[in-house]
Amino acid sequence: MTSLAYYPGCSLKRFASGCEIAGLEAARRLGIELVELERWNCCGTVFSMSSGERMHHLGSLRNLVRVQEAGYPEVVTMCAMCQNTLRQVNNEVRGDGDSLAMMNRFMDEEPAYRGEVEVLHYLTLLDRLGSEAIAARVERPLTGLRVAPYYGCTLVRPPSAGIDDPEDPNIMERLLEALGAKVVRDPMRVECCGAYMGVSKPGTINVRASAIHGSARNSGAEALATMCPLCAHNLDAVGPAPDEPALVVFYFTQLVALALGAKPEQCLAATQRVDPRPLLSTKGLLEEPQP
Amino acid sequence: MKTSMGSGSTRIPLRQQVEELCEQSIGTCYQCGNCSSGCPMGPWMDALPNQLIRRLQLGLEDTTRFASPWVCASCFACGVRCPKGIDVPRVMEALRVVGLRSGEDHIGPHTIEKKRLSQLPQIALVAHMRKATG
Amino acid sequence: MNNRVGVFICHCGKNIARTVDVEALRKEAAGLPGVEWAEDDMYLCSDPGQQLIRERIAEQNLDAVVVAACSPTLHTTTFRRAVESAGVNPFRLEIANIREQCSWVHPGTAETTHKAAALVRSGVEKARRTQPLEPIHVGLQRAVVVIGGGVAGIQAALDIAEAGYPVHLVEQGPNLGGRMAQLSETFPTLDCSSCILTPKMVEVSHHPLVTIHTLAEVTDVEGSIGNFQVRIRQQPRYVIAEGCTGCGDCVPACPQVVPGEFDRGLGARKAIYIPFPQAVPFTYTLDREHCLNQGPLIICDRCAQACEPRAIDFDQQPSEELVEAGAIVLATGCDTLPLSHFREYGHDRHPDVIDGLMFERLLSASGPTHGEIRRPSDHRVPKSIAFVQCAGSRDPERGKAYCSQICCMYTAKHALLYHHAVPDGKVYIFYIDIRAGGKGYEEFVERVRAEDGINYIRGKVAKLIPKDGKLEVWGVDTLLGEQVKVEVDLVVLATALVPSQGIQELARVARVAIDGDGFLSEAHPKLRPVESQTRGIYLAGTAQGPRDISATVAHAAGAASKVLGLFSHDELVEEPTIARVNEALCRGCSFCVSVCPYDAISLHEGTAHVNETLCRGCGACTPACFAAALGPRGFEDDQILAQIRALAC
Ligand code: SF4
Ligand code: SF4
C-alpha cells in the first residue's frame, strides 16, 4: 500500500461527496492509501491572476505548508478547481523568490514554505499507474457504456496548471479504455460550462449545458464524466433547458470505482439529478462482478 | 463655486494600470479576434475580449464601463488560443480589479434570491464572490 | 619597418570633426615615427578626396597609407582601389576607425581626440611594417549542381544551361515539378499551372547540357567555391528508364493500393505508379516500401509479367556518383504545416478539414476527383466552405511567427474557383489582414470580393466542431464586434509554409546556415538575397523563405545570374589575407583543424595544410597553435604587437 497526502477541498465534503467516496474506494482497490491532511482550509476556489492581489494566494499556500509539515513530497487532489488553484499558486511562488519571501513573512505564524511540494491530480496519479495495471484490476468492465469525458477548463488550462494538452487531452480517454468503456471523444470536452457565472446569470448555464450535452449526445455518448464539482453541478443539477434531454453526469471516480468492483452504493453515494441507475442496469453494471 | 487644483489628472492611465496588474503587453495584440471567437460567454458580453483589448490599446478610459469582465467565467480559453501569447484572462482580471478598487461590488448575497442562494453550491458562490467583490 | 607612411584624416562632414579636434590630430600624426605626410580632408571617400591621396602618394613617394575615417567595413575597397591606382600595394592600406569607435560614441572633449590619436598611432605602427601581398588565383570548374527539381530548380538549371554550362539537376522524388505541379490554376491570372510548367519541364529534360538525377539526394559536399565535389546518391527506381515506354500496363497488374502523396492522400495509387500524367521523366516508379516484395525473395512479379519491354528490375541497387562543380544552387522548396499540428481544429481527425494544397488537388483536372470539388468524407459536392487563413502563420505562440505570403492570394483564388464551379455554394473566408502586394494581386482580391461577392469575415477561427456531418466554425467578425458561428460542409486551412523536410541535413552537408525558422539563410537580406552565407552556394525559391511562383522564378533567375557572373571569370581571385603555415614550426598536433570554423585546415603527412579557397582569414587558428606556426597573412605577430603597444601609450 502506497500512502500519499490527500487534500479534499470543501466541495468534496459537501455536495460532491459522491466524488470523494468513490475516489477513495477506487484508490484503495488500486493499493493506494490517500491520507487526508489533518488540517486544511479552502484553497480559495479560483486563482487570483492580478499582480496586485497576491494575498489571495495565502489560503492555498497554507495548505501547501500543511503538506510540507506532514512530510509528503506530493499532495493529491480530486477536485479540478482545487488542483488548479493550488498548482497555480505553487507555480507562482516557485517562479518568484521575492513573492515567496513576502508571503512567508506574511504568514509568520507558519513555518516558511520551501516551494518543494508537488500538486498531483487524482487522474495523473491513476495515469502513472498505467492503463495495463488498472485494466488488470478491473472486475466489472464498463463494456458497452458510451462515456464522453468532459474536462471543462481547470483540468487543462492554463497549460502551466493543466494535467494534459489544453485542446486535445487524452488522459480520461486512456483510463476509460482501460476500464473497458466505449470512449466518445466529444469536441466540446474542453469548453466551459459557464462556471460560477450561474450565480449572477443563471440562464447562461442552461445554454452552456445544452451545448455540451447536445454535442456529447450527437457524438453518441450516454453519459458525461467529469472531475469538477462545479461542472457537475452546472451540467447535472442545473443542466440543459427543461425541455431538452440530459445525459447522466458521473464523477470520473465513480466510474473507476464501479469498474474496479466496488459496491454500487459506494459508487453512487451522493444524489445525482439524472439518476444513473437505469442506464447502468441496462448495461448490467449494477450486478455483482463475476469472479 | 468651482475650485480648480491645477490642470491635468494625476490618475494613472487605465492602460498602464491594466498592464501593471496583468503583466501583459497590450500592444502585442494584432486584433485577430481569436480570443473572442472561442469565448463561451461572448453572447452575454457587451464588448468582446478583443474589443476590450482594442480600447485599452487606444487608452480609452471608459473601458471600465463595460460589463464583459463581470461576465467572463475565467475559463482561460482565450489565453490558450491567443497567437500572440497574451494571457487574456489576466487582462479581464485586471479590469475587474480596477473596477473593484473603485469601490463597487458586482454581486452580493443580497442580490441573490434566498431560495436560489440555498441551492447554489459553495464553490460557485465563493468563486464568484472572489471575482466580483472587493 | 622602413615604409614611408602617409596619414589621411577624414572630417566626415561633421561626423568626426564635431567631437575630434582634427587639426590637433593631424599635427600629432605628422610627428609620428615613419610618417612622411599627414593631411586632413572634408570627405576622403569622395572623388576629390581619393584624388588627394593618389597625388600625395606620388609626390611624397609613399609606400603605405593610413586612412583615419569610418569603419573598415564601409570603405576598405574604396581606399584600396585608390592607393592601388597610385602604385601602392592595396594590402599596405590601414584604416583607423575614428568614427564608429570614437567620434560617434564620445563627447567632444580632449580625451576623444586623444583616443583618436591612439587609433591613428596604432594604424601607423601597422602600416610601417606591412608587406605587399598578392591575390591568390584558383582554377574554376564551370559546372553546377542544382538541388531540387521544382520550378526554382528548373528555372535556375535552364538559365545556366542556356548560357552554355553543364548542370546536374538533382531531385529527391521520382519526377520533376515540385509544388507547382500540384497546383490547379495560378493567381492572379488563372493560368493553368501545369500548362505553364510542363513546357519548362520538357525543355529542361531535353537540354543537352542538363543531366537529371531523379530519386537522388546529395549526401556530401567537399571543396569550396569554384571546386566543389558533390556526392549524389541515386535510389533505385526498379524500372529501367531506357526500357520504360510509359505505357502503364504494369499499373492494373499491381495488387497493392496506396494513398497517393502527390494527391496529398486524397487519391490512391498503386505500388508501381506515375504521379501525374505530365510527369517528367515519364518513367514509372516501383515504390518498394509498399510493394509486396519486401525481402530479397520475389513473391509477386505481376508488373514485371505485364511489362512488355521487360523494364522492371527488382535487383536494382542504389548507386553513387561524384560530380565536380564550381557552384551549387539550393532549390529544395517548401512544405506546409501538417494538419495534425492544429489541435483546436481537430488534428487530422476530421476528413473534411483539409489544407490548401489538398484543395488544389480537388480543383485539378488530373486530381483524384478530376477537377470536381468533392469533399473527402462522402464525396459530395460541398454546398458551403469556410476558408481559414493564417492557420499557423503569424502565430508565434503555437505556429510560425512569419507571414507565409501566398495564402491570402491562393485563398481568394480558391474561393473564386469554387464559386465558379458551385455558383449557389456559400463561401466564408476568415482572415486577419489581406496582404495582396504583388502586381495585379489587389485587383484580383477586389474582383473576388466585389464581382463574385465572396464573404470576407475579419477574425481568426478558434475552433471547429463536427456536427451532423457538417463542421461548425467558431469565428468572430471583429469589424462588427460579434461572434460568428457558421456550419459548413468543408473547411480549408491555409496552413503555414515551412521548409521542406531534410533541409537541415542538407544544410549540414553543404555547410550553409539556416535561420531560426529552418529556412536557408541568405548572405544579406536586402543586398545579397540569392547568395548563401557560404560562397559558391546560391539559394533559389522557397527554400530561403515563403514566396509565390513569380517571386520564386525571379529568385531562381537571380541565383542563376550569380552563377553566370562567377563563371564569367577564367579563374577565381581570392584575398591573400588567409592563414599560412610555417611548416618548419608545425608539430602536426591538429588542434587548429578542430578550431577552424570553415573546415579549411587538414593534416597532410603530419603538417597542417590550409585550403586557400575555404580559409576566410578569421584568425581562429592563430591562438590555437601552440607552436605559433600559423596565422593569417597581413596580420603578423610583430605587426599586431606593435599596434597594441601603440594603443597602450
Ligand atoms: S487572440 Fe490575442 S492577438 Fe488575437 S485579438 Fe485576442 S488578444 Fe489580440
Ligand atoms: S476567460 Fe473570460 S474572456 Fe476569456 S474566453 Fe473565458 S470567459 Fe471569455
**3-state helix, strand and coil shares in percent for chain A, rounded to the nearest 5:** 45, 10, 40
B 47-66: CB under 8 A from A: none
HSE (CB half, 13 Å, CA atoms) of C612?
Answer: 14
Which pLDDT tens digit goes with each residue over A234-274?
A: 999 999 998 999 999 999 999 999 999 999 999 998 778 99
Ligand that comes closest to the CA of residue A201: 2
- Mean pLDDT score of chain C: 95
Complete domains list, chain B, with CATH = 3-103 (1.10.1060.10), 107-134 (no CATH)
A 199-228: CB under 8 A from C: 215, 218
Please enumerate in sequence order all residues whose Cβ is within 8 A of that of C360, keeping only pairs 6 or more positions apart, or say none.
C182, C183, C184, C367, C410
Q: What is the CA radius of gyration of chain C?
A: 32
Is C384:C375 a contact under the CB 8 Å cutoff? Answer: no
Higher local confidence (pLDDT), B116 or C321: C321
Q: Which candidate, C371, C373, C370, places its Cα nearest to that of C354?
A: C373
Does residue A164 belong to any structural domain of this protein? yes
Verify that A149 and A100 share a domain, yes or no.
Answer: no
**Ordered alpha helix ranges (H), C61-150:** 72-85, 110-129
Last residue of a domain, one of A74, A96, A122: A122
Is C563:C158 a contact under the CB 8 Å cutoff? Answer: no
Complete domains list, chain C, with CATH = 5-133 (3.40.50), 144-235+318-333+500-567 (3.50.50.60), 337-498 (3.50.50.60), 575-633 (3.30.70.20)
Chain C contact present for B77, CB below 8 A: yes
Verify that A101 and A224 share a domain, yes or no.
Answer: no
Q: Which three cell numbers stand for residue C60?
A: 611624397
- Amino acid letter, residue C352: D
Verify that A112 and A187 share a domain, yes or no.
Answer: no
Residue A204 Cα to ligand 2 middle (Å) = 14
Verify that A155 and A273 share a domain, yes or no.
Answer: yes
Residue nearest to atom 7 of ligand 1 (CA): B29
Chain A hits for C463, Cβ within 8 Å: 187
Chain B contact present for C395, CB below 8 A: yes
Q: Which three cell numbers stand for residue A26?
A: 477506487
Answer whether B29 contacts ligand 1 (Cβ < 6 A).
yes
Please enumerate in sequence order all residues whose Cβ is within 8 A of that of C627, keeping only pairs 6 or more positions apart, or say none.
C585, C586, C587, C589
ω before C259 within 30° of 0 (cis)?
Answer: no
Q: What is the pLDDT of residue C631?
A: 87
Please enumerate in sequence order all residues whose Cβ is within 8 A of that of C641, keeping only pairs 6 or more positions apart, or say none.
none
Does residue A102 belong to any structural domain of this protein? yes
Last residue of a domain, one of A90, A122, A154: A122
The CATH number for A66's domain is 1.20.1050.140
Please enumerate in sequence order all residues whose Cβ is within 8 A of that of B18, keeping only pairs 6 or more positions apart, or say none.
B26, B56, B91, B94, B95, B98
Chain A contact present for B35, CB below 8 A: no
Which pLDDT tens digit goes with each residue over C479-527?
A: 999 999 999 999 999 999 999 999 999 999 999 999 999 999 999 999 9
Give the DSSP letter string of C65-83: EEEEES-HHHHHHHHHHHH
Which pLDDT tens digit goes with each residue over C416-452?
A: 999 999 999 999 999 999 999 999 999 999 999 999 9
Q: Is the pLDDT of residue B106 over 90?
A: no
Distance CA A148, CA C487 (A): 23
Which of A46, A158, A159 comes nearest B131 by C-beta? Answer: A46
Range of the domain at A144: 140-282
Distance CA C206, CA C301 (A): 32
Distances, alpha carbon C359 to alpha carbons C197, C352, C353, C362, C494, in Å: 19, 11, 10, 5, 10
Q: What is the CA radius of gyration of chain A?
A: 19
Give how far A40 is from chain B: nearest CA, Å.
16
Q: Which three cell numbers stand for residue B77?
A: 480559453
Q: What is the pLDDT of residue C84?
A: 96
Strand partners, A17: none
Buried b (16+ CB within 10 A) or exposed e, A111-128: eebebebebbbbbbbbbe
Verify that A277 and A145 share a domain, yes or no.
Answer: yes
Pick the residue from chain B with its C-alpha nearest to A81.
Answer: B123
Q: Which three cell numbers stand for residue C610?
A: 590550409
pLDDT band at B134; cut points 50, 70, 90: confident
Asked if A45's CB is within 8 angstroms of B40's CB, the reply is: no
Asked if C347's CB is within 8 angstroms of A218's CB, the reply is: no
Q: What is the pLDDT of residue C454?
A: 96
Verify that A85 and A192 share a domain, yes or no.
Answer: no
Which pLDDT tens digit goes with each residue over A91-144?
A: 999 999 998 999 999 999 999 999 999 999 999 999 999 999 999 999 999 999
pLDDT band at B8; cut points 50, 70, 90: low
Asked if A168's CB is within 8 angstroms of C466's CB, the reply is: no
Which pLDDT tens digit goes with each residue over C550-604?
A: 999 999 999 999 999 999 999 998 889 999 999 999 999 999 999 998 889 999 9
pLDDT band at C348; cut points 50, 70, 90: confident
Does residue A181 belong to any structural domain of this protein? yes
Please enumerate in sequence order all residues whose Cβ is within 8 A of that of C642, keeping only pairs 6 or more positions apart, or say none.
C125, C126, C128, C129
Distance CA C17, CA C261 (A): 66
The residue to which cell 547568395 is assigned = C531
Q: What is the pLDDT of residue C637?
A: 87
Chain B hits for A150, Cβ within 8 Å: none
Verify that A148 and A197 share a domain, yes or no.
Answer: yes
The residue to which cell 480549408 is assigned = C492
Last residue of a domain, one of A122, A150, A175: A122
Please enumerate in sequence order all residues whose Cβ is within 8 A of that of C272, keeping only pairs 6 or more positions apart, or say none.
C239, C250, C251, C254, C284, C285, C286, C287, C291, C303, C312
Distance CA C115, CA C508 (A): 44
Does residue A80 belong to any structural domain of this protein? yes
Q: Which three cell numbers stand for residue C73?
A: 567595413
Q: Which three cell numbers stand for residue B99?
A: 473596477
Residue nearest to atom 8 of ligand 2 (CA): B39
Asked if A157's CB is within 8 angstroms of B75's CB, the reply is: yes
Q: Which three cell numbers stand for residue C39?
A: 593631411
Is A222:A259 a contact under the CB 8 Å cutoff? Answer: no
Does residue A290 belong to any structural domain of this protein? no
Q: Is the pLDDT of residue B9 over 80?
A: no
- Kindly report the three-state secondary structure assignment for every residue of C312-368: ECCCCCCEEEEEEECEEEECCCEEECCHHHCHHHCCCCCCCEEEHHHHHHHHCCCCC
Q: Is the pLDDT of residue C71 over 70?
A: yes
pLDDT band at B3; cut points 50, 70, 90: low
ω before C188 within 30° of 0 (cis)?
Answer: yes
- The residue-averaged pLDDT of C391-404 equals 97
Instruction: Report CA torsion sign: C361, C364, C365, C371.
Output: positive
Which pLDDT tens digit goes with each residue over C126-158?
A: 999 999 999 999 899 999 999 999 999 999 999
Does residue A72 belong to any structural domain of this protein? yes
Does residue A38 belong to any structural domain of this protein? yes
- The residue-averaged pLDDT of A49-63 equals 91
Residues in chain C: 649
Verify that A149 and A273 share a domain, yes or no.
Answer: yes
- The residue-averaged pLDDT of C362-380 equals 96
> Is residue C106 helix, strand or coil?
coil
Distance CA A127, CA A132 (A): 10
Is A157:A165 a contact under the CB 8 Å cutoff? Answer: no
The residue to which cell 505508379 is assigned = C273
Which pLDDT tens digit goes with each residue over C91-124?
A: 999 999 999 999 999 999 999 999 999 999 999 9
> Is residue B60 helix, strand or coil?
coil
Give the DSSP letter string of C575-614: -S-SEEE-TTT-----HHHHH-TT--EEEETTEEEE-TTT
Chain B contact present for C434, CB below 8 A: no
Which pLDDT tens digit goes with each residue over A170-198?
A: 999 999 999 999 999 999 999 999 999 99
Q: Which candidate, C393, C420, C395, C400, places its Cα nearest to that of C493?
A: C393
Is B18:B94 a contact under the CB 8 Å cutoff? Answer: yes
- Kindly report the three-state secondary structure assignment for every residue of C435-471: CCCCCCHHHHHHHHHHHCCCEEEECCCCEEEEECCEE
Pick the residue from chain A with its C-alpha nearest to B124.
Answer: A196
Which pLDDT tens digit goes with each residue over C218-261?
A: 999 998 899 999 999 999 999 999 999 999 999 999 999 999 99
The CATH number for A205's domain is 3.40.50.11810
Distance CA B121, CA A230 (A): 8
Q: What is the pLDDT of residue B117?
A: 85
- Amino acid letter, residue C588: G
Chain A hits for C343, Cβ within 8 Å: 165, 167-168
A51 class by beta-carbon count within 10 Å (0-12 exposed, 13-18 middle, 19+ buried): middle
Q: Is the pLDDT of residue C210 over 90?
A: yes
Pick the residue from chain C with its C-alpha nearest to A187.
Answer: C465
Q: What is the pLDDT of residue C297?
A: 87
The residue whose CB lies within 8 Å of the most ligand 1 atoms, and thus the one to mutate among B36, B82, B90, B91, is B82
- The residue-averaged pLDDT of C315-337 equals 97
Residue C4 Cα to ligand 1 middle (Å) = 67
Residue A166 Cα to ligand 2 middle (Å) = 15
A 198-217: CB under 8 A from B: 198-202, 204, 207-208
Please enumerate in sequence order all residues whose Cβ is within 8 A of that of A193, keeping only pairs 6 or more positions apart, or say none.
A152, A205, A208, A209, A212, A230, A231, A234, A235
Q: Is the pLDDT of residue C23 over 60?
A: yes
E strand or H helix that includes residue C254: none
Number of B–C residue contacts, CB under 8 Å: 72
Q: What is the pLDDT of residue A60?
A: 96
Asked if C432's CB is within 8 angstroms of B42's CB, the reply is: no
Verify that A234 and A101 share a domain, yes or no.
Answer: no
Does residue A202 belong to any structural domain of this protein? yes
Verify that A109 and A192 share a domain, yes or no.
Answer: no
- The residue-averaged pLDDT of C363-368 equals 95
Q: Which candidate, A83, A72, A265, places its Cα nearest to that of A157?
A: A83
Verify that A90 and A159 share a domain, yes or no.
Answer: no
Distance CA C252, CA C471 (A): 37
* Cβ count within 10 A of residue C175: 24
The residue to which cell 463574385 is assigned = C452
Verify that A154 and A258 share a domain, yes or no.
Answer: yes
Q: Which candidate, A5, A18, A2, places its Cα nearest to that of A229?
A: A18
Which pLDDT tens digit goes with each residue over B32-54?
A: 999 999 999 999 999 999 999 99
Is C354:C171 a contact under the CB 8 Å cutoff? Answer: no
Ligand 2 atom with minimal separation from the B68 CA: 3
Which pLDDT tens digit goes with each residue over C291-310?
A: 999 988 899 999 999 999 99
Q: Is the pLDDT of residue B5 over 60?
A: no
Give how far C439 is from chain A: nearest CA, Å.
40
Number of folded domains that form chain A: 2
Buried b (16+ CB within 10 A) or exposed e, C23-45: eebbebbeebebbbbbbbbeebb
Percent of chain B predicted with pLDDT > 90: 75
Which pLDDT tens digit goes with each residue over B116-126?
A: 888 889 999 99
Buried b (16+ CB within 10 A) or exposed e, C383-416: ebbbbbbbbbbbbeebbbebbbbbbbbbbbbbbb
Asked if C465's CB is within 8 angstroms of A187's CB, the reply is: yes
Asked if A165's CB is within 8 angstroms of C344's CB, the reply is: no
